[in-house]
Chains A and B, each alone.
Chain A
Amino acid sequence: MRPIVRLLSAVLMLVATLTLSAAATAKPPLVLAAASLQESLNAAADAWAARHHERPILSFAASSALARQIDAGAPADLFISADEPWMDDVQKNGFVAPGTRVSFLANTLVLVAPAASTAKIAIRPGFALAQALGDGRLAMADPESVPAGKYGKASLVSLGVWSSVSGKVVRGDSVRAALAFVERGEAPFGIVYATDALSSKAVRIVGVFPNASHPPITYPIARLAASASREAEAFRLFLISAQGRAIFRHFGFLPHRPQAL
Chain B
Amino acid sequence: MDIKVGIPRALLYYNFYPAWKVFFNELGAKVILSQKTNKKIVDDGVLNTVDEACLPVKVFFGHVINLKDRGVDYIFVPRIVSVEKRRYLCAKFLGLPDLIRASIRDIPPIIDMEIDLYRGYNRNVDREIDRVGMIFTKDMRKIRKAKEAAIIAQNNYEKHLKSGLIPREAIRIMEGAKVVKAPDSGLLKIGLLGHNYNIMDEYINMDIIKKINDFGGTVITADMLKESDIEYGASCYPKDMFWTYGREMLGAGRYMLDSGIVDGVVIVTAFGCGPDSLIKEMVEKEYKRRNTIPILSLTIDEHTGEAGIITRLEAFMDLLRWKEVV
Question: Does B associate with A?
Answer: no
- Which B residues fall within an 8 A CB radius of A? none
